[in-house]
Structure 1
Amino acid sequence: MMEQLNAQFVGLDIHQSALHTFLYEKRHFSLKRAHFHSVERNSPEKIEERYNWVKQWQETDMDFTSNCVFIDEAAFHINMKRNYAWSGKGKRAVVNVPKTRAKTTTIIGAISSFGIVNVKVKLPKVTAPSKKRKATSGPVQAGKGGTVTGHYFNFVASTLDVMDKYEQFKDHYLIMDNAPIHKNKDMQLYIEGRGYRCVYLPPYSPELNPIEQFWSIVKRKLKRVALLEEETLSTRISDSCNKVMIIDLQGFCRYSAARWADCLERKSI
Protein backbone atom coordinates (compact mmCIF):
# COMPACT_ATOMS: atom_id res chain seq x y z
CA MET A 1 0.00 0.00 0.00
CA MET A 2 2.88 2.40 0.80
CA GLU A 3 4.35 1.80 -2.65
CA GLN A 4 1.05 2.60 -4.32
CA LEU A 5 0.63 5.84 -2.35
CA ASN A 6 4.18 6.98 -3.12
CA ALA A 7 3.68 6.22 -6.81
CA GLN A 8 0.42 8.16 -6.96
CA PHE A 9 1.47 11.12 -4.79
CA VAL A 10 5.02 12.16 -5.66
CA GLY A 11 6.85 13.61 -2.67
CA LEU A 12 4.46 12.15 -0.10
CA ASP A 13 6.12 12.06 3.32
CA ILE A 14 4.44 9.55 5.61
CA HIS A 15 5.74 6.79 7.84
CA GLN A 16 4.34 3.28 7.60
CA SER A 17 3.41 3.36 11.29
CA ALA A 18 1.38 6.53 10.75
CA LEU A 19 -0.45 4.94 7.84
CA HIS A 20 -1.20 1.88 9.95
CA THR A 21 -2.55 4.05 12.78
CA PHE A 22 -4.75 6.02 10.38
CA LEU A 23 -6.21 2.90 8.77
CA TYR A 24 -6.78 1.11 12.08
CA GLU A 25 -8.00 3.94 14.33
CA LYS A 26 -9.60 6.41 11.93
CA ARG A 27 -10.90 4.21 9.11
CA HIS A 28 -11.45 1.06 11.24
CA PHE A 29 -9.47 -1.20 8.93
CA SER A 30 -7.37 -4.12 10.13
CA LEU A 31 -4.92 -6.50 8.45
CA LYS A 32 -6.39 -9.97 7.89
CA ARG A 33 -5.69 -13.09 5.89
CA ALA A 34 -6.88 -12.50 2.33
CA HIS A 35 -9.47 -14.85 0.85
CA PHE A 36 -9.27 -14.92 -2.95
CA HIS A 37 -12.72 -15.37 -4.50
CA SER A 38 -13.56 -15.75 -8.17
CA VAL A 39 -15.79 -12.93 -9.36
CA GLU A 40 -18.27 -15.60 -10.51
CA ARG A 41 -18.48 -17.35 -7.17
CA ASN A 42 -21.49 -15.50 -5.77
CA SER A 43 -23.25 -14.47 -8.94
CA PRO A 44 -27.06 -14.84 -8.84
CA GLU A 45 -26.79 -17.88 -11.08
CA LYS A 46 -24.29 -19.68 -8.82
CA ILE A 47 -26.29 -18.86 -5.69
CA GLU A 48 -29.38 -20.37 -7.32
CA GLU A 49 -27.46 -23.47 -8.37
CA ARG A 50 -26.32 -24.02 -4.79
CA TYR A 51 -29.89 -23.54 -3.54
CA ASN A 52 -31.20 -26.17 -5.96
CA TRP A 53 -28.37 -28.56 -5.11
CA VAL A 54 -29.08 -28.43 -1.37
CA LYS A 55 -32.82 -28.77 -1.96
CA GLN A 56 -32.15 -31.95 -3.92
CA TRP A 57 -29.70 -33.65 -1.58
CA GLN A 58 -31.31 -32.74 1.74
CA GLU A 59 -34.05 -35.21 0.80
CA THR A 60 -31.54 -38.09 0.86
CA ASP A 61 -29.57 -39.80 3.62
CA MET A 62 -26.35 -38.00 2.64
CA ASP A 63 -24.64 -36.62 5.75
CA PHE A 64 -21.29 -34.84 5.48
CA THR A 65 -20.44 -35.82 9.07
CA SER A 66 -21.07 -39.56 8.85
CA ASN A 67 -21.24 -41.10 5.36
CA CYS A 68 -19.18 -39.03 2.92
CA VAL A 69 -15.63 -39.08 1.56
CA PHE A 70 -14.43 -35.85 -0.04
CA ILE A 71 -11.98 -35.98 -2.95
CA ASP A 72 -10.16 -33.06 -4.52
CA GLU A 73 -6.84 -31.77 -5.86
CA ALA A 74 -4.78 -28.95 -4.41
CA ALA A 75 -2.51 -26.85 -6.61
CA PHE A 76 0.64 -25.23 -5.24
CA HIS A 77 1.52 -22.18 -7.34
CA ILE A 78 5.06 -20.84 -7.49
CA ASN A 79 3.74 -17.27 -7.62
CA MET A 80 1.85 -17.49 -4.34
CA LYS A 81 -0.03 -14.42 -3.14
CA ARG A 82 0.21 -12.71 0.21
CA ASN A 83 -2.07 -14.17 2.86
CA TYR A 84 -3.12 -10.87 4.39
CA ALA A 85 -5.00 -7.79 3.17
CA TRP A 86 -6.71 -4.74 4.65
CA SER A 87 -10.45 -4.67 5.38
CA GLY A 88 -12.89 -2.99 7.73
CA LYS A 89 -12.93 -4.13 11.36
CA GLY A 90 -15.15 -7.17 11.77
CA LYS A 91 -15.18 -7.86 8.03
CA ARG A 92 -13.43 -10.65 6.11
CA ALA A 93 -10.67 -9.52 3.76
CA VAL A 94 -11.72 -10.71 0.28
CA VAL A 95 -9.63 -10.14 -2.86
CA ASN A 96 -11.25 -10.91 -6.22
CA VAL A 97 -8.72 -12.41 -8.62
CA PRO A 98 -8.94 -13.19 -12.36
CA LYS A 99 -8.40 -16.68 -13.71
CA THR A 100 -4.68 -17.32 -14.16
CA ARG A 101 -2.47 -20.24 -15.05
CA ALA A 102 0.82 -21.08 -13.42
CA LYS A 103 3.11 -24.05 -13.14
CA THR A 104 1.94 -26.15 -10.21
CA THR A 105 2.60 -29.13 -8.02
CA THR A 106 -0.61 -31.10 -7.52
CA ILE A 107 -1.81 -33.13 -4.55
CA ILE A 108 -4.86 -35.39 -4.78
CA GLY A 109 -6.51 -36.33 -1.51
CA ALA A 110 -9.51 -38.03 0.05
CA ILE A 111 -10.73 -37.28 3.58
CA SER A 112 -13.73 -38.06 5.76
CA SER A 113 -14.88 -37.47 9.32
CA PHE A 114 -13.12 -40.76 10.16
CA GLY A 115 -9.70 -39.57 8.99
CA ILE A 116 -7.47 -39.16 5.94
CA VAL A 117 -8.36 -41.90 3.49
CA ASN A 118 -5.75 -41.39 0.75
CA VAL A 119 -3.19 -38.82 -0.44
CA LYS A 120 -1.11 -38.69 -3.61
CA VAL A 121 1.53 -36.08 -4.51
CA LYS A 122 2.23 -35.30 -8.17
CA LEU A 123 5.54 -33.51 -8.59
CA PRO A 124 6.42 -31.64 -11.81
CA LYS A 125 9.35 -32.70 -13.99
CA VAL A 126 9.80 -36.14 -12.53
CA THR A 127 10.54 -38.61 -15.31
CA ALA A 128 10.26 -41.84 -13.34
CA PRO A 129 7.57 -42.57 -10.75
CA SER A 130 8.69 -43.35 -7.24
CA LYS A 131 7.08 -44.23 -3.94
CA LYS A 132 7.48 -42.15 -0.85
CA ARG A 133 6.01 -42.30 2.59
CA LYS A 134 2.38 -41.22 3.06
CA ALA A 135 0.56 -39.73 6.04
CA THR A 136 -1.84 -42.68 6.12
CA SER A 137 -1.52 -46.35 5.24
CA GLY A 138 0.26 -46.68 1.89
CA PRO A 139 2.72 -44.55 -0.07
CA VAL A 140 2.48 -40.98 -1.23
CA GLN A 141 3.12 -41.38 -4.94
CA ALA A 142 5.24 -38.89 -6.84
CA GLY A 143 4.69 -38.57 -10.57
CA LYS A 144 4.64 -36.04 -13.36
CA GLY A 145 2.78 -32.78 -12.64
CA GLY A 146 -0.81 -32.13 -13.63
CA THR A 147 -3.81 -34.40 -13.25
CA VAL A 148 -5.34 -36.22 -16.20
CA THR A 149 -8.26 -38.62 -16.33
CA GLY A 150 -6.08 -41.73 -16.08
CA HIS A 151 -4.22 -40.47 -13.02
CA TYR A 152 -7.42 -39.37 -11.34
CA PHE A 153 -9.13 -42.68 -12.09
CA ASN A 154 -6.21 -44.57 -10.56
CA PHE A 155 -6.41 -42.40 -7.46
CA VAL A 156 -10.15 -43.00 -7.08
CA ALA A 157 -9.61 -46.74 -7.55
CA SER A 158 -6.93 -46.83 -4.85
CA THR A 159 -9.17 -44.79 -2.55
CA LEU A 160 -12.01 -47.28 -2.99
CA ASP A 161 -9.55 -50.09 -2.25
CA VAL A 162 -8.85 -48.44 1.11
CA MET A 163 -12.54 -47.89 1.80
CA ASP A 164 -13.34 -51.53 1.02
CA LYS A 165 -11.22 -52.56 4.00
CA TYR A 166 -13.34 -50.71 6.58
CA GLU A 167 -16.97 -51.39 7.41
CA GLN A 168 -17.68 -47.75 8.33
CA PHE A 169 -17.20 -46.72 4.69
CA LYS A 170 -19.87 -49.09 3.36
CA ASP A 171 -22.29 -47.37 0.93
CA HIS A 172 -20.57 -44.00 1.42
CA TYR A 173 -20.98 -41.02 -0.89
CA LEU A 174 -17.91 -39.79 -2.78
CA ILE A 175 -18.16 -36.01 -2.96
CA MET A 176 -16.27 -34.15 -5.70
CA ASP A 177 -16.49 -30.78 -7.38
CA ASN A 178 -17.87 -30.55 -10.90
CA ALA A 179 -14.54 -30.35 -12.75
CA PRO A 180 -14.74 -32.15 -16.13
CA ILE A 181 -12.05 -34.62 -15.06
CA HIS A 182 -14.31 -35.71 -12.18
CA LYS A 183 -17.53 -35.96 -14.16
CA ASN A 184 -16.32 -38.61 -16.57
CA LYS A 185 -19.26 -40.98 -17.08
CA ASP A 186 -17.07 -44.06 -16.87
CA MET A 187 -15.75 -42.78 -13.54
CA GLN A 188 -19.26 -42.49 -12.13
CA LEU A 189 -20.22 -45.96 -13.36
CA TYR A 190 -17.04 -47.40 -11.86
CA ILE A 191 -17.71 -45.83 -8.45
CA GLU A 192 -21.30 -47.05 -8.43
CA GLY A 193 -20.18 -50.49 -9.60
CA ARG A 194 -17.92 -50.68 -6.55
CA GLY A 195 -20.93 -50.13 -4.27
CA TYR A 196 -20.48 -46.43 -3.54
CA ARG A 197 -22.41 -43.32 -4.54
CA CYS A 198 -21.10 -40.37 -6.54
CA VAL A 199 -22.12 -36.74 -5.93
CA TYR A 200 -20.87 -33.59 -7.67
CA LEU A 201 -20.92 -30.24 -5.91
CA PRO A 202 -22.34 -27.16 -7.64
CA PRO A 203 -19.81 -24.88 -9.41
CA TYR A 204 -17.74 -22.39 -7.41
CA SER A 205 -18.72 -23.88 -4.04
CA PRO A 206 -15.51 -24.59 -2.09
CA GLU A 207 -17.26 -23.83 1.21
CA LEU A 208 -19.34 -26.96 0.66
CA ASN A 209 -16.24 -29.15 0.40
CA PRO A 210 -14.49 -29.89 3.73
CA ILE A 211 -11.28 -30.94 1.98
CA GLU A 212 -10.75 -27.32 0.94
CA GLN A 213 -10.16 -26.45 4.60
CA PHE A 214 -7.85 -29.45 4.93
CA TRP A 215 -5.76 -28.22 2.00
CA SER A 216 -5.71 -24.73 3.47
CA ILE A 217 -4.08 -26.01 6.64
CA VAL A 218 -1.61 -28.20 4.73
CA LYS A 219 -0.60 -25.28 2.51
CA ARG A 220 -0.24 -22.99 5.51
CA LYS A 221 2.32 -25.36 7.00
CA LEU A 222 4.37 -25.43 3.81
CA LYS A 223 6.81 -22.57 3.35
CA ARG A 224 7.19 -21.07 -0.11
CA VAL A 225 10.76 -22.35 -0.34
CA ALA A 226 9.42 -25.91 -0.03
CA LEU A 227 7.65 -25.53 -3.35
CA LEU A 228 11.03 -25.06 -5.02
CA GLU A 229 12.62 -28.14 -3.44
CA GLU A 230 11.02 -31.11 -5.14
CA GLU A 231 13.07 -33.65 -3.22
CA THR A 232 11.59 -32.56 0.12
CA LEU A 233 8.04 -31.65 -0.87
CA SER A 234 6.52 -35.11 -0.36
CA THR A 235 7.99 -35.37 3.12
CA ARG A 236 6.81 -31.89 4.05
CA ILE A 237 3.30 -32.60 2.79
CA SER A 238 3.21 -35.90 4.67
CA ASP A 239 4.30 -34.15 7.87
CA SER A 240 1.65 -31.47 7.39
CA CYS A 241 -1.06 -34.08 6.84
CA ASN A 242 -0.01 -35.91 9.98
CA LYS A 243 -0.57 -32.75 12.01
CA VAL A 244 -4.23 -32.51 10.98
CA MET A 245 -6.16 -34.33 13.69
CA ILE A 246 -9.42 -36.25 13.30
CA ILE A 247 -11.19 -33.68 15.46
CA ASP A 248 -10.12 -31.07 12.87
CA LEU A 249 -11.49 -33.17 10.01
CA GLN A 250 -14.77 -33.54 11.87
CA GLY A 251 -14.87 -29.78 12.33
CA PHE A 252 -14.32 -29.25 8.59
CA CYS A 253 -17.25 -31.56 7.83
CA ARG A 254 -19.53 -29.79 10.31
CA TYR A 255 -18.59 -26.40 8.89
CA SER A 256 -19.44 -27.38 5.31
CA ALA A 257 -22.66 -29.07 6.44
CA ALA A 258 -23.67 -25.84 8.20
CA ARG A 259 -23.31 -23.95 4.92
CA TRP A 260 -26.35 -25.79 3.59
CA ALA A 261 -28.53 -23.42 5.60
CA ASP A 262 -26.80 -20.45 3.97
CA CYS A 263 -27.47 -21.93 0.54
CA LEU A 264 -31.15 -22.41 1.36
CA GLU A 265 -31.31 -18.75 2.38
CA ARG A 266 -29.55 -17.84 -0.87
CA LYS A 267 -26.65 -16.22 0.96
CA SER A 268 -23.20 -15.65 -0.52
CA ILE A 269 -20.62 -18.14 0.71
Structure 2
Amino acid sequence: MSGGARGLLITYTGRVNGPAYIEIFKDALTDFIENAFGPGNPNWVYMQDNAPPHTSKFAMKWLKDKNINVMKWPPSSPDLNPIENLWDNIDKKLRYLKPTNVTQLEQMIHDLWNKVSCQECQSLVDSIPRRIRQCIKARGNSFSKC
Protein backbone atom coordinates (compact mmCIF):
# COMPACT_ATOMS: atom_id res chain seq x y z
CA MET A 1 0.00 0.00 0.00
CA SER A 2 1.00 3.59 -0.40
CA GLY A 3 -0.58 6.92 0.34
CA GLY A 4 -3.51 6.75 -2.03
CA ALA A 5 -3.24 3.19 -3.37
CA ARG A 6 -3.27 -0.45 -2.41
CA GLY A 7 -1.51 -3.14 -4.35
CA LEU A 8 -2.35 -6.70 -5.19
CA LEU A 9 -2.95 -9.00 -2.22
CA ILE A 10 -0.95 -12.18 -2.58
CA THR A 11 -1.80 -15.27 -0.55
CA TYR A 12 1.06 -17.61 0.27
CA THR A 13 1.18 -20.84 2.21
CA GLY A 14 4.41 -22.40 3.29
CA ARG A 15 7.63 -21.44 4.97
CA VAL A 16 9.23 -18.15 3.99
CA ASN A 17 12.95 -17.57 3.61
CA GLY A 18 14.73 -14.84 1.61
CA PRO A 19 14.25 -16.40 -1.84
CA ALA A 20 10.60 -17.32 -1.10
CA TYR A 21 9.92 -13.79 0.19
CA ILE A 22 11.13 -12.26 -3.07
CA GLU A 23 9.40 -14.87 -5.23
CA ILE A 24 6.07 -14.13 -3.50
CA PHE A 25 5.97 -10.49 -4.51
CA LYS A 26 8.64 -9.73 -7.09
CA ASP A 27 6.34 -9.06 -10.06
CA ALA A 28 3.57 -7.46 -8.01
CA LEU A 29 5.94 -5.12 -6.12
CA THR A 30 7.76 -3.76 -9.14
CA ASP A 31 4.46 -3.26 -10.99
CA PHE A 32 2.92 -1.55 -7.95
CA ILE A 33 5.86 0.83 -7.55
CA GLU A 34 5.75 1.81 -11.21
CA ASN A 35 1.95 2.27 -11.19
CA ALA A 36 1.79 4.11 -7.86
CA PHE A 37 4.77 6.42 -8.32
CA GLY A 38 5.57 6.42 -12.04
CA PRO A 39 8.60 5.00 -13.79
CA GLY A 40 11.88 6.46 -12.58
CA ASN A 41 10.32 8.40 -9.68
CA PRO A 42 12.64 8.09 -6.64
CA ASN A 43 10.22 9.78 -4.19
CA TRP A 44 9.08 6.69 -2.29
CA VAL A 45 10.49 4.19 0.18
CA TYR A 46 9.66 0.53 0.77
CA MET A 47 8.85 -0.25 4.40
CA GLN A 48 9.30 -3.74 5.75
CA ASP A 49 10.03 -5.05 9.22
CA ASN A 50 13.22 -6.78 10.31
CA ALA A 51 11.93 -10.32 9.87
CA PRO A 52 14.83 -12.58 8.84
CA PRO A 53 13.42 -13.33 5.34
CA HIS A 54 13.09 -9.57 4.70
CA THR A 55 16.65 -8.75 5.77
CA SER A 56 18.35 -11.84 4.34
CA LYS A 57 21.33 -11.24 2.09
CA PHE A 58 19.36 -12.69 -0.82
CA ALA A 59 16.37 -10.38 -0.31
CA MET A 60 18.44 -7.26 0.34
CA LYS A 61 20.57 -7.90 -2.77
CA TRP A 62 17.46 -8.38 -4.93
CA LEU A 63 15.88 -5.18 -3.59
CA LYS A 64 19.11 -3.26 -4.19
CA ASP A 65 19.50 -4.69 -7.70
CA LYS A 66 15.94 -3.55 -8.52
CA ASN A 67 16.64 -0.05 -7.11
CA ILE A 68 14.00 -0.49 -4.43
CA ASN A 69 14.63 2.05 -1.68
CA VAL A 70 14.28 0.17 1.61
CA MET A 71 13.73 2.10 4.83
CA LYS A 72 16.19 1.05 7.50
CA TRP A 73 14.66 0.12 10.86
CA PRO A 74 16.66 -0.30 14.06
CA PRO A 75 16.43 -3.80 15.57
CA SER A 76 13.63 -4.30 18.12
CA SER A 77 12.01 -1.00 17.17
CA PRO A 78 8.24 -0.44 17.13
CA ASP A 79 6.65 -1.31 13.80
CA LEU A 80 5.22 1.99 12.58
CA ASN A 81 4.46 0.74 9.09
CA PRO A 82 0.92 1.91 8.22
CA ILE A 83 0.12 -1.48 6.70
CA GLU A 84 0.01 -2.81 10.26
CA ASN A 85 -2.88 -0.46 11.00
CA LEU A 86 -4.59 -1.55 7.80
CA TRP A 87 -4.27 -5.22 8.80
CA ASP A 88 -5.65 -4.33 12.24
CA ASN A 89 -8.70 -2.75 10.58
CA ILE A 90 -9.20 -5.87 8.44
CA ASP A 91 -8.80 -8.12 11.49
CA LYS A 92 -11.51 -6.21 13.36
CA LYS A 93 -13.90 -6.68 10.43
CA LEU A 94 -13.04 -10.40 10.24
CA ARG A 95 -13.95 -10.83 13.90
CA TYR A 96 -17.39 -9.48 13.08
CA LEU A 97 -17.75 -11.70 9.98
CA LYS A 98 -16.62 -14.85 11.84
CA PRO A 99 -15.28 -17.09 9.05
CA THR A 100 -15.74 -20.79 9.75
CA ASN A 101 -12.99 -22.32 7.61
CA VAL A 102 -9.72 -21.43 5.92
CA THR A 103 -11.24 -21.03 2.45
CA GLN A 104 -13.88 -18.66 3.78
CA LEU A 105 -11.26 -16.73 5.75
CA GLU A 106 -9.08 -16.30 2.68
CA GLN A 107 -12.03 -15.12 0.57
CA MET A 108 -13.13 -12.66 3.24
CA ILE A 109 -9.60 -11.25 3.56
CA HIS A 110 -9.43 -10.73 -0.22
CA ASP A 111 -12.88 -9.12 -0.25
CA LEU A 112 -11.97 -6.76 2.59
CA TRP A 113 -8.63 -5.92 0.96
CA ASN A 114 -10.38 -5.05 -2.30
CA LYS A 115 -12.69 -2.68 -0.41
CA VAL A 116 -9.79 -0.68 1.07
CA SER A 117 -10.14 2.83 -0.32
CA CYS A 118 -7.43 5.17 -1.54
CA GLN A 119 -8.58 7.59 1.19
CA GLU A 120 -8.00 4.96 3.90
CA CYS A 121 -4.48 4.31 2.59
CA GLN A 122 -3.73 8.03 2.46
CA SER A 123 -5.08 8.56 5.98
CA LEU A 124 -2.85 5.81 7.35
CA VAL A 125 0.23 7.19 5.60
CA ASP A 126 -0.62 10.69 6.84
CA SER A 127 -0.73 9.31 10.40
CA ILE A 128 2.98 8.35 10.36
CA PRO A 129 4.32 11.67 11.79
CA ARG A 130 1.78 11.54 14.63
CA ARG A 131 2.66 7.93 15.42
CA ILE A 132 6.39 8.75 15.36
CA ARG A 133 5.75 11.58 17.86
CA GLN A 134 3.83 9.11 20.07
CA CYS A 135 6.72 6.66 19.87
CA ILE A 136 9.25 9.35 20.82
CA LYS A 137 7.06 10.49 23.70
CA ALA A 138 6.81 6.89 24.92
CA ARG A 139 10.60 6.56 24.52
CA GLY A 140 10.12 3.56 22.22
CA ASN A 141 7.92 1.70 24.70
CA SER A 142 4.43 0.50 23.88
CA PHE A 143 1.80 3.06 23.03
CA SER A 144 -1.69 2.97 21.63
CA LYS A 145 -1.67 2.84 17.83
CA CYS A 146 -4.24 5.25 16.44
- TM-score in terms of structure 1 length: 0.45
2:90, 2:109 within 8 Å by CA — same for their partners in 1? yes
2:21, 2:59 within 8 Å by CA — same for their partners in 1? no
Counterpart of 2:71? Answer: 199
Counterpart of 1:174? Answer: 46
Counterpart of 2:32? Answer: 163
Runs of 5+ unmatched residues, structure 2 = none
In 2, Cα distance between equivalents of 1:164 and 1:251: 19
**Structure 1, residues 77-108: CA drift from partner, whole Å, max 9, x if none?**
xxxxxxxxxxxxxxxxxxxxxxxxxxxxxxxx
| SS class of match (2:6) | strand
Q: Give the 3 Å change call, closer, same or farther, for CA 196–215 of structure 1 in structure 2.
A: same
- TM-score in terms of structure 2 length: 0.77
Counterpart of 1:252? Answer: 124
In 1, Cα distance between equivalents of 2:112 and 2:8: 14
Q: How far 1:186 moved relative to its partner?
A: 2.3
In 2, Cα distance between equivalents of 1:193 and 1:159: 16
Counterpart of 1:119? Answer: 9
Larger radius of gyration: 1
| SS class of match (2:7) | strand
Counterpart of 2:109? Answer: 237
Counterpart of 2:86? Answer: 214
Identity rate, percent? 21
In 2, Cα distance between equivalents of 1:168 and 1:211: 18
Runs of 5+ unmatched residues, structure 1 = 1-110, 123-143
Residues 1-269 of structure 1 correspond to what in structure 2 (within 5 A)? 111-122=1-12, 144-163=13-32, 165-166=34-35, 168-169=37-38, 170-171=41-42, 172-202=44-74, 203-206=76-79, 208-223=80-95, 225-226=98-99, 228-265=100-137, 266=139, 268=141, 269=143
Tell which has more relative contact order, 1 or 2 (C-alpha 8 A, sep 6+).
2
Q: How far 1:245 moved relative to its partner?
A: 1.3
In 2, Cα distance between equivalents of 1:241 and 1:235: 10
Q: How far 1:151 moved relative to its partner?
A: 2.5
| SS class of match (2:52) | coil
**Paired residues, number:** 136
Q: Give the 3 Å change call, closer, same or farther, for CA 262–225 of structure 1 in structure 2.
A: closer
Q: How far 1:164 moved relative to its partner?
A: 5.1
Q: Give the 3 Å change call, closer, same or farther, for CA 198–156 of structure 1 in structure 2.
A: farther
Counterpart of 1:134? Answer: none
More strand by share: 1
Residue identity opposite 2:47 in structure 1: I
Q: How far 1:114 moved relative to its partner?
A: 2.5
Q: Give the 3 Å change call, closer, same or farther, for CA 261–225 of structure 1 in structure 2.
A: closer
| SS class of match (2:10) | strand
